[in-house]
Amino acid sequence: MKLIAVERGAWETCLGESMIESHVPGGRIIGLDNYFATSPMPVTVWHKALVPSLYYECSQQQLASFRADADFLRAGAEYLTWVYQCAISARHMLTSNNAYGKVRFAIEWLSSAADAYRQSYTLVSFICSRTNLSRSRVLDILKELKQGGYIEVDNGYFVRLCRDLPDGY
């Protein structure tokens, strides 16, 4: 188990074989790698660099040396709690039965992401890889959003949100 900090670059954190869980831009701590490996239903956690990156790893032995520093432990616990809550919220939305809600969440996610993500995936592949929705369902929703003037897409790649996405579809 180790703590990973990305100083520069853009990474993705994935669960299992293909589900992309989060984006990790430079200046972020990923957290405890392989935390779920020993759970009753083990899940493989892996990371993928989208662009050349600079990162640091802190081993379990190195982390143990900080155990006497109460401020470090408190700050780390608060940060990891926040990251965990963000992941739970994202997982809740992405596992719901609301196809439009999933697409909206993914578009807003991409809209706030670093350019490396926007340039690495077409909008359809980005949404499908995070929501497990069918390509045809995603295309139907995106067609209406484009026609309604909500999103701008160029050659399949997301450019920008033109206005707030509607609450419902």
Whichever domain contains 21, its CATH number is: 2.60.120.10
Last residue of a domain, one of 75, 94, 113: 94
CA distance 91 to 98: 13
Q: Which residues pair with 40 in a beta bridge?
A: none
The residue-averaged pLDDT of 14-18 equals: 71
Of the pLDDT bands very low, low, confident and very high (cuts 50, 70, 90), residue 27 is confident
| pLDDT tens column, 28-63 | 777 655 555 555 666 677 788 888 888 888 877 777
Residues 73 and 113 in one domain: no
- Give domain status of residue 169, yes or no: no
What is the phi/psi pair of residue 59, to 5°?
-75, 170
Contacts of 133 (CB under 8 A, 6+ apart): 99, 102, 103, 127
Q: Are residues 85 and 146 both part of a single domain?
A: no
Which residues constitute the domain of residue 128?
A: 99-161
